[in-house]
Structure 1
Amino acid sequence: MPDRIPTYELYGEYLAGTRSDPVHHETIRERSSQHDWTIRLHRHRKLAQVFVLRTPGVAIRLGDLNFRSQEPVILLVPPGVAHGFRFPPDILGDVITLRPALLREDTAQRLSRLGEAGGAMLPRQGARHFDTIETLMAQLREAMRDFGPDRAELLDTILRLVLIYVDADRAAAQPLGALPAPQEQTLHESQVQAFCGAVEAHFASPMTLESYAAEVGVSKPHLNRLCRRILGTTPNALIRQRRLVEARHLLEFTRHSIADIAARAGFADPGYFSRSFRSDTGMTPGTYRRLHGS
């Protein structure tokens, strides 16, 4: 795929931030409603996704393939395959994003086998376990909110069942033809990945772009060009995004003061932090905490 196709963690996000779960769940509406129901062509180099689309009429693109769903479908997208969607405004559905590196070995192997077989679209009419997979998605959503001692085992068990049923229904899969194989990582993509790793390590510090570039082994202008071409954003915007991810996490799960959270997330000026946070979320840090705090 050409470099101009963005590579995200989740759509519109470039860094994992504080996410450490092997699976992420959200409804289709949560993200698509923020983007006028259009998810532009993008890819996840190390993540696989399973979509349950209960509403027909979804325009789907996988690699160079374009088609429209005629009924509720389950869609499996392997890592590295470019994909995009145009959803109807009344869309109902879920998506789970799987991080193979954090899965238990047998679950990761099952996911790998499914990925090697390429993408698949399972229509409700032919998929015997469609309703079961829907039920498991609802259970997974509830399990994500459970922070008890058995959380990891519960998530893995539900996820493994989802993959077992998807695999069992592959015989009913609508053929999509051969998907283009994900390209090997280029030197420039490796450099961008190294920059993202450096941001994860140093976002809370006042580290300069010159220092980031030196750590990656490129010049500052070259780092700017790489990020714009491969990620579609600037290095400074990426660092700011990572700091805001950290701030949201601290607002949700700690009782630190707003000024303390700003400092912990890497913002030297609490006023600038509040303005940036409001620009990003549409609300003040205090309002966000009242709505989302645990």
Structure 2
Amino acid sequence: MSKSVAAAVPVFKLYGETGAWPTPDLIHCESIPERSKLHGWEIKPHRHSDLVQLLYVQAGQATLKVEDVVIYVDSPSLQVVPALSVHTFKFSEDIQGHVLSLAQPLAEQLGASLNTPVLSRAACYTVGAGQQYLDTLYAAITEEYVQSQSGRDPMLQSLITVLSVWLSRRNLERSSPDPRQLDRGREYLQRFTRTLETQFREHLPIEHYAATLGISAAHLNALCRRLSGQSALQMINQRLLLEAKRDLVYTTMTIHQVSDSLGFSEPAYFSRFFKRGTGLSPKQFRIQR
């Protein structure tokens, strides 16, 4: 994305809305035509600072762009759009499907309880033989969402947990090594991410993390690429970027203070790191919050 385009990307609660969240829920559910037909079947580039969206295309065609990845969809597919991801969609006029928006705290809670990052990474999943199951699940979520029966909130959360488990399983199916190797590799990756969570501000080399696991840096990198789609260094940098984005959006710390809190030796170095990862300077990013 060019600098001029990135600087113009708006931040919305829901597309086209700048007001408060429309319901007391941590969830919002609507059909794809419901909103897209109001905008000529095109959702222009924007991002959500505190929403994860699960867009389910049931029928029709769509061009889905999340960050720099463009996917043309002409069969049932489910697109994950993480918080802060710039995205744009174009739909055919016969489009059918749903958009489920989850407030970031709920998405993080689901990710932690299922021990999966599937809601924090952009991905498009072809539904295939699972269409009837997913149709039924989204129909149940939609029906529960529009009603106000007793137990509505726990029922909605249960249904969305089921959807998250479905996504997690589909994500695992994308690579199918020997189950014993997968379990061992996931154990290493989980230990790495737990250690990273407590030490990412220290800017430690990959060799340090590998040594704590008792494996080589090359082995750690291979595991990260196979199980998360990113190198170990990319995971470290993405964790730093995520924390920087949170600080810029949700705190009043100065850029110098954010840089300091994240362990950067100089604010200028932090600004270069941030711009390299997002295409925006910290100041530009904060203005667009």
TM-score range, shorter chain: 0.5 to 0.7
Describe the superposition over 1:131-150 as per-residue Cα deviations: whole angstroms up to 9, x where unpaired: 21221110011101221231
Residue in 1 that maps onto 2:141? 140
CA pair 39-115 structure 1, distance change in 2 beyond 3 A: same
Go from structure 1 to structure 2 and tell me whether the alpha carbon gap of 1:147 and 1:90 turns closer, same or farther (over 3 Å shift). same
Other-structure match for 1:19: 23
The CA deviation at 1:77 is: 1.3
1:111-260 alignment to 2 at 5 Å? 113-116=117-120, 118-125=121-128, 128-171=129-172, 184-185=244-245, 230=288
Contact 2:111–2:117 under 8 Å retained in 1:
no
- Mapped to 1, the partners of 2:86 and 2:102 lie a distance apart of 16
2:35 is matched by which residue type in structure 1?
Answer: R
Quote how far apart the aligned CAs of 1:84 are: 0.8
Q: What's the CA shift for 1:3?
A: 3.5
Higher RCO (CA < 8 A, seq sep 6+): 1
**Under a length normalisation based on structure 1, what TM-score does the superposition of the two structures give?**
0.57
Give the aligned residue type for 2:158.
T
Using a 3 Å threshold, how does the CA distance of structure 1 residues 18 and 135 change in structure 2: closer, same or farther?
same
- 1:66: how far off? 1.8
8 Å CA contact retained: 1:60, 1:67: yes
Preserved contact between residue 63 and residue 72 of structure 2 (Cα < 8 Å): yes
- Tell me, in whole angstroms, the C-alpha distance in 2 between the residues paired with 1:14 and 1:104: 23
Cα gap change, 1:111/1:14 in structure 2, threshold over 3 Å: closer, same or farther?
Answer: farther
Structure 2 residue runs of 5 or longer lacking an equivalent are 176-228, 253-283
| Aligned residues between the structures | 197
Cα drift, residue 130 of structure 1: 3.3
| Structure 2 contact 61–95 (Cα < 8 Å) conserved | no
Going by fraction, where is helix more abundant, 1 or 2? 2
* Structure 1 residue 51: Cα displacement: 1.0
Cα 1:88–1:153 shift into 2, 3 Å: same
**Contact 2:110/2:164 (CA < 8 Å) preserved in 1?**
no
The reply to whether residue 42 of structure 1 matches residue 56 of structure 2 is no
Q: In 2 relative to 1, CA 43–173 (structure 1 residues): closer, same or farther, beyond 3 Å? A: farther
Query: In the alignment, is residue 78 of structure 1 matched against residue 78 of structure 2?
Result: no
For 1:236-268, what per-residue CA distance to the aligned partner results, in whole angstroms no more than 9, with x for missing partners?
A: xxxxxxxxxxxxxxxxxxxxxxxxxxxxxxxxx
Q: Does 1:95 align with 2:96?
A: no
Quick one: percent identity of the two aligned structures? Answer: 23
State the TM-score, normalized to the length of structure 2.
0.57
How far the C-alpha of 1:67 sits from its partner, in A, is 2.5
User: Kindly tell me: are residues 230 and 170 of structure 1, through their superposed partners in 2, closer, same or farther at Cα, counting changes over 3 Å?
Assistant: same
Deviations 1:92-139 (A, max 9, x none): 0111000132579456644862134x21111133xx533212211100
RMSD, aligned α-carbons: 3.7
Gaps of 5+ in 1: 193-225, 232-294
Distance 1:56 1:171, change over 3 A: farther
